[in-house]
Amino acid sequence: MEIDTVKERAGPREFSAADEMPLEYREAATRMIEFHANSEIMGAYLERPFIREAPSIDRKLAYSAKVQDEIGHGQLLYRAAESLGVKTREEMLDDLANGKGKFLNCFHYPMKSWPETAMIAFFVDGAAMRRQATLRRTSWEPYAHAMDKVCFEEGFHVKHGESILAELMTGSKKEQEMTQEVFEMWWPRIIQFFGPTDDKSTHHDFSADVGLKTQSNDDLRNLFLREYIPKAEKYGLEIPDEPRIRQRDDGTYEVEEGDLDWDEFFTIAKNEYEPGLGQINGRKEAQKAVQWVRDTLEWENAPEGAAKPQAAD
């Protein structure tokens, strides 16, 4: 298929493994889905210590289930990416381990205390849920199908996150103060979840033109702020003074971009931020240690004839 045809036909679930997609589309889609899959894994990796540290059995069960869901989402997403014929799951997981694989900014930061988990589970997952809902209309069908399942499951993540936040903010003074403190620390990172504004984003236009991306960074960020600023306030959190945010006449939010640390963001985006590297390497060691199991079972060996599903164009 020619790129122009792709752009003409671009629409929800329009393209699947049955179509011969041009390399540019396949590479853009792989990049996007791989980032998403990596983010599920690294988010899970960040949260997993809190399964152990949860302050009740039910909270422990919930975190175990949440982390399990995220691994499951990773499994779906790597498959959706693999189906494009550019990289295998093994290659993507190797890249994640060796520091080449990119993932969400939020998961490059350390998480040290229980109240921080609510920042991820309520706000970051809340942001992700909206984005995922829009991706049910993405043009790569396997990705859209993966989103069906992710969207079905993820409501529990946000509700569980909310429950933890509610408990903290109606808890002792110490708990409330801790939570406000971590909220101030995480708030700018959460806003940066959506990436740079549209004018600064390098890949956006193509992804939008071929229907991979169905809503712009700016739109998604606005929708998030509109939904979650009131929610944060309802639970008694004070929105930090910085970054300065004001509502325009049309209801959209203007964020003072200079108040956000974009240098840090771009360092993170290159996988050069220290704590993030710590996460990548920690996971790498754990995965290396079980390489012998994968080797024993030849887990990744494809049977004869199972060549990459896409012919080169």
Partner 1 sequence: MIWEVFRQEQRGDYHTHCGNVHAPDREMAKQFAAIQHARRKPTHSIWVVPKDEIGELDAEETSFGGVTDKSYRWAPTYKSDLDHASEVIDSEGQQAEAEKQRGDA
Partner 2 sequence: MAGEIESVDELDADEQEALETLLFSLADDEFVFAERYTEWQVRSPTLESDLALSNNAQDELGHARLWYDVLEDFGHEEHELVYERDPENWRHSTLVEQEFLEGDWADAILRHYLYDVAEEIRLEALEGSSYAKIAGRVEKIQDEERYHREHAESWMERLADGEGLERLQEAVDRLFPHAMTLFEPCAPVPSAEEASDDEPRAAEDVEETVVEAGFRTESLEELREEWVDTVCPYLEGLGLETPAVERVHFDEYEYEVEADVVADERGRDGSHTDAWDDLHAEFTSTYRELGRSQATKIMEKPQ
Positions in the binding site for partner 1 (CB under 8 A): 12-14, 16, 18, 58, 61-62, 65-66, 69, 126, 129-130, 132-133, 141, 144-145, 151-156, 158-160, 162-163, 166, 227-228, 231, 234
Residue 186 makes contact with partner 2 by CB under 8 A? no
Estimate to the nearest angstrom the gap between the alpha carbon of 262 and the chain centroid.
18
Shortest Cβ 131–partner 2 spacing (Å): 22
Shortest Cβ 93–partner 1 spacing (Å): 25
Residue 88 makes contact with partner 2 by CB under 8 A? no
Nearest of 129, 124, 276 to residue 186 by alpha carbon: 124
- CA distance linking residue 51 with residue 31, whole number of Å: 30
- CA distance linking residue 24 with residue 16, whole number of Å: 15
- CA distance linking residue 206 with residue 15, whole number of Å: 16
Whether 22 contacts 3, CB under 8 Å: yes
What is residue 120's DSSP assignment?
I
Q: Helix (H) and strand (E) counts for the chain?
A: 14, 2
Whether 37 contacts 77, CB under 8 Å: yes
Residue 293 makes contact with partner 2 by CB under 8 A? yes
User: With CB cut-offs between 5 and 8 Å by kind, which of partner 1, partner 2, none does residue 72 bind?
Assistant: partner 2
Nearer to partner 1, 139 or 271 (CB): 139
- Chosen residue from 7, 48, 136, 308 binding partner 2 by CB under 8 A: 48
Whether 306 contacts 82, CB under 8 Å: no
Q: Which two tokens stand for residue 56?
A: 């009740």
Residue 74 makes contact with partner 2 by CB under 8 A? yes
The residue count for binding partner 2 (CB under 8 A) is: 50
Residue 152 makes contact with partner 2 by CB under 8 A? no
Shortest Cβ 242–partner 2 spacing (Å): 28
Between helix 217-234 and helix 173-192 the angle, nearest 10°, is 170
- Chosen residue from 28, 29, 62, 150 binding partner 2 by CB under 8 A: 62
Q: Which two tokens stand for residue 192?
A: 């940066």
Nearer to partner 2, 14 or 167 (CB): 167
CA dihedral 130, 154, 62, 226 (to 10 degrees): 20
**The residue to which tokens 């959460």 are assigned:** 190
Nearer to partner 1, 200 or 234 (CB): 234
User: With CB cut-offs between 5 and 8 Å by kind, which of partner 1, partner 2, none does residue 289 bind?
Assistant: partner 2
| Candidates 27-35, 60-68, 96-104, 250-258; binding stretch for partner 2 (CB under 8 A) | 60-68
Whether 245 contacts 256, CB under 8 Å: yes
- Binding footprint of partner 2 on the chain (CB under 8 A): 41, 44-45, 48, 50-62, 64-65, 67-68, 71-72, 74-75, 78, 113-114, 163, 167, 171-172, 174-175, 178, 283, 285-297, 299
